[in-house]
């Protein structure tokens, strides 16, 4: 599995450091607001676990499973809600946690959905931002790293279901996806 990686971009330590930094900011920004922190499955599961442990004030958590990619390397624009939230969100302060913003289509759909559900506020926290690929005007409020336009995997990010369990983020060797 490690042999499929061309280059490591962010190590476990790099990610830990950035999660602590963002967490400090979130603790300040959300003090007294009891945010509902929403993990977008599956990609965000590891970053979510790291981020919520750095929020040192009252917060609740919930999970949504949405999917746009299937097994392709680019999103389709439609997102499928595989699992919705368990709690009502009207009047809540929502913090969406994502692993990566690529075209912005997934988050564009989610932000629309939350606004439709009359939330008090909705903000976005993402480990990775790939602004070169954006087709929707989505801008994250909290960003770990800006990534180059390369196919990255690991730390939650997959290619055809694999690599999510890598403890770092790396660039996938093109040979892996070009053969498909
Ligand atoms: C990936 C990633 C983001 C989204 C970003 O999820 O985790 O959620 O795509 O792409 P976009 O900005 O172009 O919409 P994916 O749909 O692959 O599902 P997964 O998290 O279960 O892998
Ligand atoms: Mn995802
Ligand atoms: Mg995926």
Q: Annotated catalytic sites, by residue? A: 102
**Residue-range domain boundaries for the chain:** 12-149
The predicted structure's pLDDT at residue 80? 85
The predicted structure's pLDDT at residue 78? 72
The predicted structure's pLDDT at residue 180? 72
The predicted structure's pLDDT at residue 79? 81
Residue owning tokens 């750095």: 54
For 74, the token pair is: 């680019």
- What residues does ligand 1 touch, defined as CB less than 6 Å away? 40-43, 67-69, 75, 98-106, 158
Q: Is 25 within 8 Å of 57 (Cβ atoms)?
A: no
Architecture of domain 12-149: 3-Layer(aba) Sandwich (3.40)
Q: Compute the distance between CA of residue 147 and CA of residue 18 in angstroms, rounded to an integer.
A: 14
Q: Is 144 within 8 Å of 22 (Cβ atoms)?
A: yes
Q: Regarding beta strands 93-101 and 5-10, do their DSSP bridges make them parallel or antiparallel, or are they unpaired?
A: unpaired
For the complex shown, is ipTM > 0.90? yes
| Among candidate residues 23, 22, 40, 1, the one with its CA nearest the CA of residue 170 | 1
The preferred substitution site among 42, 65, 68, 165 for testing ligand 1, maximizing ligand atoms within 8 Å of CB, is 68
Measure 15 CA to ligand 1 centroid, in angstroms.
19
Per-residue pLDDT of the chain (180 residues; tens, 9 = 90+): 999 999 999 999 999 999 999 999 999 999 999 999 999 999 999 999 999 999 999 999 999 998 775 555 566 667 889 999 999 999 999 999 999 999 999 999 999 999 999 999 999 999 999 999 999 899 999 999 999 999 999 999 999 999 999 999 999 999 999 977
The predicted structure's pLDDT at residue 118? 98
- Closest residue to atom 22 of ligand 1, CA basis: 43
**Closest-lying ligand 1 atom to the alpha carbon of residue 136:** 12
Measure 127 CA to ligand 1 centroid, in angstroms.
12
Q: Compute the distance between CA of residue 121 and CA of residue 124 in angstroms, rounded to an integer.
A: 10
The predicted structure's pLDDT at residue 14? 98
Q: Compute the distance between CA of residue 136 and CA of residue 13 in angstroms, rounded to an integer.
A: 31
What's the pTM value of the predicted model, to 2 decimals?
A: 0.95
Q: Regarding beta strands 5-10 and 142-146, do their DSSP bridges make them parallel or antiparallel, or are they unpaired?
A: unpaired
CB atoms within 10 A of CB 73: 12
For 146, the token pair is: 């800006």
The preferred substitution site among 65, 69, 159 for testing ligand 1, maximizing ligand atoms within 8 Å of CB, is 69
The predicted structure's pLDDT at residue 74? 61
- Closest residue to atom 13 of ligand 1, CA basis: 103
Which residues neighbour 18 within 8 Å (Cβ) at sequence distance 6 or greater? Answer: 10, 127, 144, 145
**Closest-lying ligand 1 atom to the alpha carbon of residue 101:** 12
């Amino acid at each position: 599995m490690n042999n499929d990686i061309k280059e490591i971009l962010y190590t476990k330590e790099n990610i830990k450091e950035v999660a602590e930094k963002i967490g400090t900011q979130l603790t300040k920004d959300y003090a007294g607001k009891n945010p509902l922190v929403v993990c977008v499955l599956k990609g965000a599961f590891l970053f979510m676990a790291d981020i919520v442990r750095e929020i040192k004030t009252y917060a609740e958590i919930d999970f949504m499973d949405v999917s746009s990619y299937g097994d392709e390397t680019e999103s389709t624009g439609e997102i499928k809600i595989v699992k919705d939230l368990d709690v009502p969100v009207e009047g809540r302060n929502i913090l969406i946690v994502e692993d990566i913003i690529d075209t912005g289509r997934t988050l564009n759909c989610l932000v629309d959905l939350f606004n439709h559900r009359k939330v008090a506020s909705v903000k976005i926290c993402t480990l990775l931002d790939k602004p070169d690929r954006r087709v929707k005007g989505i801008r994250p409020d909290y960003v770990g790293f800006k990534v180059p336009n390369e196919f990255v995997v690991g730390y939650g990010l997959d290619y055809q279901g694999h690599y999510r369990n890598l403890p770092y983020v790396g660039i996938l060797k093109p040979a892996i996806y070009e053969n498909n």
